[in-house]
Amino acid sequence: MTAASSGSYTTIADSSSAYNYRQLQAGASDVLLAAFKFEAGISEDMVLKQVALELGNTASNSPADLAGQKVTLWDGATKVGEAQFGLGTNPDYATSTLTTFVTIPKGENKTIIVKGSLAGQDAVNGTPGAFLVVNYDGNNNGINGNYSTGADSGATISGSSADVTTNGGRIYRTTPTIADVTTTYNPNRTLSAGSDLYAIRVTAGSGRDMGIHSMSFVIASVGVAETSGWQLFGPNGAVNATSITASSTLNGGYLKVNFDSTSPDRLVSAGTSKDFRLRASSIIGLTSTAVETISINLENDTTDIQAVSPEHGLATSSPGTLLARVPTIVRSGASTTDNFIWTPFSTTTPQAAASIDSNIDWTNSYGMAGFPGVAQDMPTITFSH
Protein backbone atom coordinates (compact mmCIF):
# COMPACT_ATOMS: atom_id res chain seq x y z
CA MET A 1 0.00 0.00 0.00
CA THR A 2 1.33 3.44 -0.99
CA ALA A 3 0.10 6.52 0.83
CA ALA A 4 -0.66 9.69 -1.12
CA SER A 5 -1.78 13.07 0.18
CA SER A 6 -3.93 13.62 -2.91
CA GLY A 7 -4.48 12.52 -6.46
CA SER A 8 -3.37 14.03 -9.77
CA TYR A 9 -4.48 14.51 -13.34
CA THR A 10 -2.89 15.13 -16.73
CA THR A 11 -4.13 16.67 -19.96
CA ILE A 12 -3.43 15.72 -23.57
CA ALA A 13 -5.03 16.58 -26.91
CA ASP A 14 -7.69 14.20 -28.15
CA SER A 15 -6.22 12.47 -31.21
CA SER A 16 -9.58 11.67 -32.81
CA SER A 17 -9.77 12.45 -36.52
CA ALA A 18 -12.71 14.75 -35.76
CA TYR A 19 -10.22 17.28 -34.42
CA ASN A 20 -7.75 17.20 -37.31
CA TYR A 21 -6.98 20.38 -39.22
CA ARG A 22 -10.06 21.38 -41.26
CA GLN A 23 -11.40 24.08 -43.51
CA LEU A 24 -14.04 25.95 -41.49
CA GLN A 25 -17.10 27.86 -42.72
CA ALA A 26 -17.21 31.51 -41.64
CA GLY A 27 -20.42 32.28 -39.78
CA ALA A 28 -21.00 28.64 -38.75
CA SER A 29 -22.32 27.88 -35.25
CA ASP A 30 -21.04 25.43 -32.62
CA VAL A 31 -18.02 24.35 -34.65
CA LEU A 32 -15.75 21.69 -33.14
CA LEU A 33 -12.48 23.52 -32.45
CA ALA A 34 -10.55 21.29 -30.06
CA ALA A 35 -10.83 18.47 -27.56
CA PHE A 36 -8.73 17.72 -24.49
CA LYS A 37 -8.48 14.42 -22.68
CA PHE A 38 -8.20 14.73 -18.87
CA GLU A 39 -6.89 11.62 -17.12
CA ALA A 40 -6.99 11.08 -13.36
CA GLY A 41 -4.22 9.31 -11.52
CA ILE A 42 -4.91 6.10 -9.64
CA SER A 43 -5.10 7.64 -6.15
CA GLU A 44 -8.57 9.21 -6.22
CA ASP A 45 -11.32 10.55 -8.46
CA MET A 46 -10.82 14.08 -9.75
CA VAL A 47 -13.54 16.72 -9.95
CA LEU A 48 -12.59 19.06 -12.80
CA LYS A 49 -13.64 22.60 -11.91
CA GLN A 50 -11.71 25.04 -14.09
CA VAL A 51 -9.98 24.97 -17.50
CA ALA A 52 -7.67 27.64 -18.94
CA LEU A 53 -7.43 28.12 -22.71
CA GLU A 54 -5.39 30.26 -25.07
CA LEU A 55 -5.47 31.10 -28.76
CA GLY A 56 -2.55 29.73 -30.72
CA ASN A 57 -1.13 31.00 -34.01
CA THR A 58 -2.21 34.54 -33.13
CA ALA A 59 -0.32 35.99 -36.10
CA SER A 60 -3.27 34.89 -38.25
CA ASN A 61 -6.29 34.97 -35.94
CA SER A 62 -7.74 37.00 -33.10
CA PRO A 63 -10.58 36.71 -30.56
CA ALA A 64 -12.73 38.61 -33.07
CA ASP A 65 -12.75 35.52 -35.32
CA LEU A 66 -14.98 33.91 -32.70
CA ALA A 67 -18.57 35.18 -32.59
CA GLY A 68 -18.92 36.90 -29.23
CA GLN A 69 -15.21 36.13 -28.68
CA LYS A 70 -16.11 33.06 -26.64
CA VAL A 71 -16.08 29.28 -26.75
CA THR A 72 -18.17 26.68 -24.95
CA LEU A 73 -16.99 23.49 -23.22
CA TRP A 74 -18.84 20.18 -23.45
CA ASP A 75 -18.80 16.79 -21.75
CA GLY A 76 -20.41 14.76 -24.51
CA ALA A 77 -23.80 16.36 -25.20
CA THR A 78 -23.75 18.34 -21.93
CA LYS A 79 -22.53 21.92 -21.92
CA VAL A 80 -20.33 22.36 -18.85
CA GLY A 81 -18.86 25.83 -19.25
CA GLU A 82 -17.89 28.88 -21.30
CA ALA A 83 -14.62 30.74 -21.79
CA GLN A 84 -14.55 34.42 -22.76
CA PHE A 85 -11.66 35.74 -24.85
CA GLY A 86 -10.99 39.38 -25.66
CA LEU A 87 -10.85 40.67 -22.08
CA GLY A 88 -8.24 42.69 -20.20
CA THR A 89 -4.58 42.94 -21.10
CA ASN A 90 -4.38 39.34 -22.37
CA PRO A 91 -7.28 39.01 -24.85
CA ASP A 92 -5.89 35.77 -26.31
CA TYR A 93 -6.39 33.94 -22.97
CA ALA A 94 -9.60 32.79 -21.30
CA THR A 95 -10.53 30.69 -18.28
CA SER A 96 -13.70 28.69 -17.87
CA THR A 97 -15.03 28.02 -14.41
CA LEU A 98 -17.21 25.03 -15.16
CA THR A 99 -20.88 25.55 -14.51
CA THR A 100 -21.23 21.78 -14.23
CA PHE A 101 -18.27 20.04 -12.60
CA VAL A 102 -16.93 16.96 -14.37
CA THR A 103 -15.90 13.92 -12.32
CA ILE A 104 -13.02 11.86 -13.69
CA PRO A 105 -12.85 8.40 -12.08
CA LYS A 106 -9.39 7.46 -10.84
CA GLY A 107 -7.35 5.77 -13.53
CA GLU A 108 -9.85 6.85 -16.20
CA ASN A 109 -10.24 9.82 -18.51
CA LYS A 110 -12.80 12.31 -19.75
CA THR A 111 -12.74 14.29 -23.00
CA ILE A 112 -13.82 17.93 -22.87
CA ILE A 113 -14.83 19.32 -26.26
CA VAL A 114 -14.36 22.97 -27.16
CA LYS A 115 -16.86 24.52 -29.58
CA GLY A 116 -17.20 28.00 -30.96
CA SER A 117 -19.31 29.98 -33.39
CA LEU A 118 -17.29 31.69 -36.09
CA ALA A 119 -17.56 35.33 -37.09
CA GLY A 120 -18.81 36.06 -40.59
CA GLN A 121 -16.61 37.33 -43.41
CA ASP A 122 -17.29 39.94 -46.07
CA ALA A 123 -15.49 42.77 -47.84
CA VAL A 124 -15.17 44.70 -44.57
CA ASN A 125 -15.50 42.27 -41.67
CA GLY A 126 -13.66 39.15 -40.64
CA THR A 127 -10.20 37.79 -41.41
CA PRO A 128 -10.24 35.76 -44.66
CA GLY A 129 -8.14 32.65 -44.21
CA ALA A 130 -7.81 33.10 -40.45
CA PHE A 131 -6.05 30.08 -38.92
CA LEU A 132 -7.92 29.57 -35.65
CA VAL A 133 -6.28 27.40 -32.97
CA VAL A 134 -7.52 26.90 -29.41
CA ASN A 135 -4.94 25.39 -27.04
CA TYR A 136 -4.90 24.28 -23.40
CA ASP A 137 -3.04 26.84 -21.29
CA GLY A 138 -1.09 24.43 -19.15
CA ASN A 139 1.09 27.14 -17.65
CA ASN A 140 -1.89 28.72 -15.92
CA ASN A 141 -2.48 26.49 -12.91
CA GLY A 142 -4.12 27.03 -9.55
CA ILE A 143 -7.32 28.72 -8.45
CA ASN A 144 -7.09 31.30 -11.24
CA GLY A 145 -6.35 28.76 -13.95
CA ASN A 146 -6.55 24.98 -14.26
CA TYR A 147 -7.56 22.96 -11.25
CA SER A 148 -9.56 20.05 -9.91
CA THR A 149 -10.37 18.91 -6.42
CA GLY A 150 -9.74 15.43 -5.09
CA ALA A 151 -13.00 13.56 -4.47
CA ASP A 152 -11.55 11.97 -1.31
CA SER A 153 -8.88 14.40 -0.14
CA GLY A 154 -10.75 17.61 -1.00
CA ALA A 155 -7.39 19.08 -2.02
CA THR A 156 -7.06 21.66 -4.80
CA ILE A 157 -4.95 20.01 -7.51
CA SER A 158 -3.33 21.76 -10.45
CA GLY A 159 -3.19 20.14 -13.86
CA SER A 160 -0.33 19.61 -16.31
CA SER A 161 2.20 22.42 -16.38
CA ALA A 162 2.78 22.31 -20.14
CA ASP A 163 0.57 23.79 -22.87
CA VAL A 164 -1.34 21.31 -25.03
CA THR A 165 -1.61 22.33 -28.68
CA THR A 166 -4.31 21.34 -31.16
CA ASN A 167 -4.57 21.26 -34.96
CA GLY A 168 -6.95 24.15 -35.48
CA GLY A 169 -8.63 25.06 -38.75
CA ARG A 170 -8.58 27.73 -41.43
CA ILE A 171 -11.71 29.85 -41.84
CA TYR A 172 -13.04 30.62 -45.32
CA ARG A 173 -16.11 32.46 -46.53
CA THR A 174 -17.20 29.21 -48.17
CA THR A 175 -15.97 25.65 -47.74
CA PRO A 176 -16.35 23.09 -50.54
CA THR A 177 -16.97 19.37 -50.18
CA ILE A 178 -15.64 16.66 -52.52
CA ALA A 179 -17.36 13.34 -53.28
CA ASP A 180 -16.53 10.39 -55.55
CA VAL A 181 -19.47 9.82 -57.94
CA THR A 182 -17.74 7.49 -60.41
CA THR A 183 -20.39 4.79 -60.10
CA THR A 184 -23.05 7.27 -61.25
CA TYR A 185 -21.37 7.59 -64.64
CA ASN A 186 -19.45 4.33 -65.02
CA PRO A 187 -21.03 1.76 -62.68
CA ASN A 188 -19.10 -1.18 -64.15
CA ARG A 189 -15.79 0.70 -64.24
CA THR A 190 -15.39 -0.11 -67.92
CA LEU A 191 -12.31 1.18 -69.73
CA SER A 192 -12.88 2.62 -73.19
CA ALA A 193 -11.75 5.68 -75.15
CA GLY A 194 -14.05 8.67 -74.84
CA SER A 195 -16.08 7.26 -71.96
CA ASP A 196 -16.53 8.84 -68.55
CA LEU A 197 -13.92 7.39 -66.24
CA TYR A 198 -13.19 8.96 -62.86
CA ALA A 199 -15.93 11.34 -61.66
CA ILE A 200 -16.10 13.71 -58.70
CA ARG A 201 -18.75 16.05 -57.33
CA VAL A 202 -17.81 19.50 -56.00
CA THR A 203 -20.33 21.15 -53.67
CA ALA A 204 -19.87 24.78 -52.67
CA GLY A 205 -20.60 25.76 -49.09
CA SER A 206 -23.73 27.69 -48.26
CA GLY A 207 -21.85 30.87 -47.48
CA ARG A 208 -20.52 31.86 -50.91
CA ASP A 209 -19.92 30.80 -54.50
CA MET A 210 -16.52 29.20 -55.16
CA GLY A 211 -14.23 29.40 -58.16
CA ILE A 212 -11.93 26.62 -59.40
CA HIS A 213 -8.54 27.04 -61.02
CA SER A 214 -7.23 23.48 -61.32
CA MET A 215 -7.51 19.86 -60.22
CA SER A 216 -4.91 17.12 -60.29
CA PHE A 217 -5.11 13.36 -60.75
CA VAL A 218 -2.76 10.41 -60.47
CA ILE A 219 -3.03 7.94 -63.36
CA ALA A 220 -1.45 4.49 -63.64
CA SER A 221 -1.97 1.84 -66.30
CA VAL A 222 -1.29 -1.85 -66.91
CA GLY A 223 -1.14 -3.19 -70.46
CA VAL A 224 -2.05 0.13 -72.09
CA ALA A 225 0.42 1.33 -74.72
CA GLU A 226 -0.55 4.99 -74.83
CA THR A 227 -3.25 7.45 -73.75
CA SER A 228 -3.96 10.91 -75.09
CA GLY A 229 -6.64 13.57 -75.27
CA TRP A 230 -7.29 13.85 -71.54
CA GLN A 231 -10.08 16.29 -70.74
CA LEU A 232 -12.22 17.04 -67.70
CA PHE A 233 -15.92 17.53 -68.46
CA GLY A 234 -18.33 19.56 -66.37
CA PRO A 235 -22.06 20.12 -66.90
CA ASN A 236 -21.28 22.57 -69.73
CA GLY A 237 -18.63 20.55 -71.57
CA ALA A 238 -14.86 20.24 -71.36
CA VAL A 239 -13.27 22.63 -68.87
CA ASN A 240 -9.95 22.40 -70.76
CA ALA A 241 -10.57 22.86 -74.48
CA THR A 242 -6.95 21.91 -75.23
CA SER A 243 -6.64 18.29 -74.24
CA ILE A 244 -3.62 16.99 -72.39
CA THR A 245 -1.54 14.63 -74.49
CA ALA A 246 0.13 11.36 -73.60
CA SER A 247 3.54 13.01 -73.61
CA SER A 248 2.37 15.28 -70.81
CA THR A 249 1.26 12.38 -68.64
CA LEU A 250 3.90 9.83 -69.69
CA ASN A 251 0.99 7.39 -69.92
CA GLY A 252 0.61 7.71 -66.21
CA GLY A 253 1.79 9.70 -63.24
CA TYR A 254 0.59 13.22 -62.56
CA LEU A 255 -2.20 14.81 -64.62
CA LYS A 256 -3.03 18.45 -63.89
CA VAL A 257 -6.11 20.05 -65.47
CA ASN A 258 -6.14 23.85 -65.54
CA PHE A 259 -9.64 25.21 -66.17
CA ASP A 260 -9.99 27.47 -69.21
CA SER A 261 -10.61 31.08 -68.24
CA THR A 262 -13.91 31.03 -70.17
CA SER A 263 -15.28 27.78 -68.76
CA PRO A 264 -18.60 28.45 -66.99
CA ASP A 265 -17.93 25.40 -64.83
CA ARG A 266 -15.19 27.29 -63.02
CA LEU A 267 -17.98 28.75 -60.88
CA VAL A 268 -19.99 26.64 -58.43
CA SER A 269 -22.84 28.58 -56.87
CA ALA A 270 -23.28 28.58 -53.08
CA GLY A 271 -25.08 25.49 -51.85
CA THR A 272 -25.02 23.76 -55.25
CA SER A 273 -22.96 20.98 -56.83
CA LYS A 274 -21.25 20.25 -60.13
CA ASP A 275 -20.00 16.88 -61.37
CA PHE A 276 -16.72 16.57 -63.26
CA ARG A 277 -15.80 13.50 -65.37
CA LEU A 278 -12.35 12.63 -66.68
CA ARG A 279 -12.02 11.18 -70.20
CA ALA A 280 -9.22 10.12 -72.57
CA SER A 281 -10.11 10.42 -76.26
CA SER A 282 -7.51 7.83 -77.25
CA ILE A 283 -6.42 4.68 -75.44
CA ILE A 284 -4.01 2.57 -77.50
CA GLY A 285 -3.21 -1.04 -76.72
CA LEU A 286 -6.60 -2.44 -75.75
CA THR A 287 -6.91 -6.06 -76.87
CA SER A 288 -9.50 -8.81 -76.89
CA THR A 289 -7.21 -11.38 -75.31
CA ALA A 290 -5.87 -9.62 -72.21
CA VAL A 291 -7.10 -7.38 -69.42
CA GLU A 292 -5.81 -3.81 -69.55
CA THR A 293 -6.45 -1.35 -66.73
CA ILE A 294 -6.14 2.32 -65.91
CA SER A 295 -6.28 3.45 -62.27
CA ILE A 296 -7.16 7.05 -61.33
CA ASN A 297 -7.57 9.11 -58.19
CA LEU A 298 -7.99 12.79 -57.30
CA GLU A 299 -5.00 14.20 -55.45
CA ASN A 300 -5.30 16.11 -52.21
CA ASP A 301 -2.84 18.70 -50.94
CA THR A 302 -0.63 17.67 -48.07
CA THR A 303 -0.02 21.08 -46.51
CA ASP A 304 -1.28 24.64 -46.65
CA ILE A 305 -0.62 26.43 -49.93
CA GLN A 306 2.71 28.23 -50.10
CA ALA A 307 3.29 31.55 -51.88
CA VAL A 308 5.80 31.29 -54.74
CA SER A 309 6.49 33.22 -57.93
CA PRO A 310 3.46 34.23 -60.03
CA GLU A 311 2.26 31.70 -62.58
CA HIS A 312 -0.85 31.04 -64.64
CA GLY A 313 -1.74 34.74 -64.68
CA LEU A 314 -3.07 34.72 -61.12
CA ALA A 315 -2.86 37.90 -59.11
CA THR A 316 -0.61 38.22 -56.07
CA SER A 317 -1.09 39.65 -52.61
CA SER A 318 1.75 41.28 -50.72
CA PRO A 319 2.97 39.68 -47.48
CA GLY A 320 1.24 41.21 -44.51
CA THR A 321 -1.93 42.23 -46.34
CA LEU A 322 -5.38 41.07 -45.29
CA LEU A 323 -5.27 38.06 -47.60
CA ALA A 324 -1.69 37.00 -46.92
CA ARG A 325 -3.06 34.00 -45.03
CA VAL A 326 -4.81 32.88 -48.21
CA PRO A 327 -1.82 32.88 -50.59
CA THR A 328 -2.65 33.42 -54.22
CA ILE A 329 0.13 31.82 -56.19
CA VAL A 330 -0.04 28.44 -57.91
CA ARG A 331 2.97 26.36 -58.83
CA SER A 332 3.10 24.36 -62.05
CA GLY A 333 3.97 20.66 -62.01
CA ALA A 334 3.53 18.11 -59.28
CA SER A 335 3.86 19.37 -55.73
CA THR A 336 2.23 18.97 -52.34
CA THR A 337 0.46 22.34 -52.26
CA ASP A 338 -1.16 23.02 -55.66
CA ASN A 339 -3.12 19.89 -56.53
CA PHE A 340 -6.58 21.45 -56.14
CA ILE A 341 -6.70 25.24 -56.36
CA TRP A 342 -9.87 27.23 -55.65
CA THR A 343 -11.07 30.62 -54.40
CA PRO A 344 -13.70 31.46 -51.76
CA PHE A 345 -14.16 35.05 -53.09
CA SER A 346 -13.40 36.35 -49.62
CA THR A 347 -13.71 40.07 -50.26
CA THR A 348 -14.87 40.31 -53.85
CA THR A 349 -18.15 39.60 -55.60
CA PRO A 350 -17.96 36.28 -57.50
CA GLN A 351 -16.95 37.25 -61.03
CA ALA A 352 -17.69 35.90 -64.46
CA ALA A 353 -15.51 32.91 -65.27
CA ALA A 354 -12.98 34.87 -67.33
CA SER A 355 -12.41 37.34 -64.48
CA ILE A 356 -11.62 34.83 -61.75
CA ASP A 357 -7.88 34.85 -62.40
CA SER A 358 -7.71 38.46 -61.19
CA ASN A 359 -9.02 37.38 -57.80
CA ILE A 360 -6.45 37.75 -55.03
CA ASP A 361 -7.35 34.91 -52.68
CA TRP A 362 -6.61 31.39 -53.83
CA THR A 363 -6.10 28.39 -51.63
CA ASN A 364 -5.88 24.60 -51.92
CA SER A 365 -7.62 21.42 -50.75
CA TYR A 366 -5.69 20.86 -47.51
CA GLY A 367 -8.36 20.15 -44.87
CA MET A 368 -11.20 20.08 -47.43
CA ALA A 369 -14.24 18.01 -46.47
CA GLY A 370 -14.90 14.80 -48.40
CA PHE A 371 -11.36 13.50 -48.68
CA PRO A 372 -10.73 10.35 -46.58
CA GLY A 373 -8.58 12.39 -44.20
CA VAL A 374 -6.36 15.43 -43.99
CA ALA A 375 -3.67 15.22 -46.70
CA GLN A 376 -5.11 11.92 -47.97
CA ASP A 377 -5.95 11.45 -51.66
CA MET A 378 -9.35 10.20 -52.82
CA PRO A 379 -9.49 6.40 -53.19
CA THR A 380 -8.07 4.94 -56.42
CA ILE A 381 -10.61 3.61 -58.91
CA THR A 382 -9.49 0.98 -61.45
CA PHE A 383 -11.13 0.70 -64.89
CA SER A 384 -10.74 -2.50 -66.89
CA HIS A 385 -11.03 -3.61 -70.51
Any idea where the domains of the chain sit in the sequence? 9-172, 177-384
- In the Cβ-directed half-sphere of 372, how many Cα atoms lie within 13 Å? 8
Q: How confident is the model at residue 325 (pLDDT cuts 50, 70, 90)?
A: very low
Over residues 29-51, mean pLDDT: 95
Q: How many CB atoms lie within 10 A of CB 5?
A: 8
pTM exceeding the 0.75 threshold for the entire prediction: yes
What integer pLDDT is reported at residue 322 of this predicted model? 32
C-beta of residue 166 within 8 angstroms of C-beta of residue 134 = yes
18, 24, 26, 32 alpha-carbon torsion, rounded to 10°:
20
Say which CATH architecture domain 9-172 belongs to.
Sandwich (2.60)
Q: Above 80 in pLDDT, residue 323?
A: no
User: What is the biggest distance separating any 2 CA atoms in the chain, rounded to whole angstroms?
Assistant: 80
Q: How confident is the model at residue 309 (pLDDT cuts 50, 70, 90)?
A: very low
pLDDT digits (tens, 9 = 90+) for 216-250: 999 999 999 888 899 999 999 999 998 887 555 55
Q: How many CB atoms lie within 10 A of CB 383?
A: 22
Number of H helices, E strands in the chain: 2, 23
Helical (H) or strand (E) element with 184: helix 182-185
C-beta of residue 86 within 8 angstroms of C-beta of residue 54 = no
